[in-house]
Structure 1
Amino acid sequence: MARVSVTPAAPAPGPEPTAPLPSPYLDLTREAWAARRDDQPLSLTPDDIARVTGLGDRVDLHEVEEVYLPLSRLLAFYVNATAGLHRVTTDFLGERPAKVPFVIGVAGSVAVGKSTTARVLRELLRRWPQTPRVDLITTDGFLWPNAHLESRGLLERKGFPESYDRRGLLRFVADVKSGVPKVSAPVYSHLSYDIVPGAEIVVDQPDVLIVEGLNVLQPATVRSDRSTRQVLSDYFDFSVYVDAPVDQLRTWYVERFLRLRETAFADPDSYFHRYAALTDDEARETAGGIWERINEPNLVKNVLPTRDRATLVLTKGGDHKVTGIRLRRL
């Protein structure tokens, strides 16, 4: 009888294992980042820093020297390089060069300190010779008025993407980026918690425009026909995301709420004046509820997923100090 050998069947082909993609970011320690200052002198005073620091933030001269001064130096390099690229492009196209502002986006959660970051950068950049005119706008001015939000059932979703006039905000930044003179933006009052009727901020061809807000790094959405709309970040030359652990952000939000009872909430004209008389325990419970009902869901769903779209990520520790920097490689 002949012997028959049976060869085991080869396993069905499957996807070959792939090595993980290299990170597009370079991670730097605070010490390594601080060395990038390269002896650039600090031009801000303690009074300057106190004037631009938000409630609850802890930014001092040491923080500015080690974190924000190196960042302003890097941004000065970017401004020069971008201006050179613009000149080359206009020469190639045979166009007459026009002044094109450098646009910086600053994103991050409620209570992370992104407003302070934006204001410190504005003050530092104004002191660089190539960028004396630096304007700052916040996306709060493009929130829909409360009456509009209430009519659409969105008052409890203030800060979510749908609570903004996104078309108006996009048009504003597109006009500024295109060199249009005297572009106006609405004004938001944190006292009245609403848009100020008839008030406006005028931006007139700055060297740099900083745009600060929760959702400035939102990606484009795909239409039913598979096309995409322009988004705000299409106009950014550089973007910063200010990051911190979610649990830490909750703590900072509650701490800020407690302080606001003695400051903004104490004003009889404040929208939140009803919170001024809360006890510490009542204030903590109220703030915690607002965080869990509104701010954390918005952070997790809409804000945090945009972190990896930033050019640079500043990571904060529990004392509000920056502990690490991630810079996107070109």
Structure 2
Amino acid sequence: MVEETHSTGGVGTVGIVGTGTMGAAMADVLRPHHRLVVWDVDEASVRRQEAAGSVVAADVAELTAEADVVLLSLPGPDVVRKVVAGERGVLAAAGAPGVIADLSTVDPGTARAMATAAAEIGVGYLDAPVLGRPHRCGAWTLPVGGTEDDLAFARPVLEKVAARVIRVGDVGAASILKLLNNLMFGAINAITAETMATAERLGLDPQTYYSTLADSGAASVSNLFREIAPKIANRDWSPAFTVDLLAKDNRLGLAVIEEAGITAPVARAVVGLNEEGRSAGLGALDTSALVQLFEGVEREG
């Protein structure tokens, strides 16, 4: 059952663990409305937060002791498990938040395991991965897995970073939705890279190729195409979303599909291309950089 409702109200202190690209975007939106306590392993990241007015915690335990709601914005399942249930994680701290909301992209098994561990000490848990690009924070959509009560507690915070907060089921359901979405992202990214390289090889100007299609009304044109095709044409590899992160998400997505007993040739091809990009040294670049795999190189397969 899908539920979309809206709420007003407030939570005193919000903690954010992970102030990279997405976490920093959330902090900027939340800071005017809540006392904000942050922590990240990256010193430069937290110093930027401190300069902007966030309180920087010494560690996860200190953040947890002060926060009513803890938001996680972390790179993957292993880090989430360590931050939530590790020896010095959120659940081991002296104080406990009302709800942990994980906005990272992880597998549903990790989300469910962390929710179970949280429930043992009376802490609510939501998986609420982001649908949206960093610069759109405030207008994101958040699919949410978890109980209605836990969502009601965290909703006043979540509704500040997202225009739509939609309960899609129990914990784990939102992670499944996000992983399937990111497989679609991977497929669109891959075919955009492939066709942009092909167009240039066949004598079409890349700028002309994308601008003609982007404004054509053709059913094949997506918002992602409109975003990454200009980056390819302009050779702009500054990362909105890195190849490394896409590769991680797509591996997790493929595993979910295969666990369901479904043959997934397109997902397999996307995962393979991402891994080829990582092997070619493109991992830290924007996903649009995968076009380099098709430019002037004979590829196997």
Return the TM-score normalized by structure 1: 0.28
The higher radius of gyration belongs to 1
Bigger share in helix: 2
Higher relative contact order (CA 8 A, sep 6+): 1
Return the TM-score normalized by structure 2: 0.30
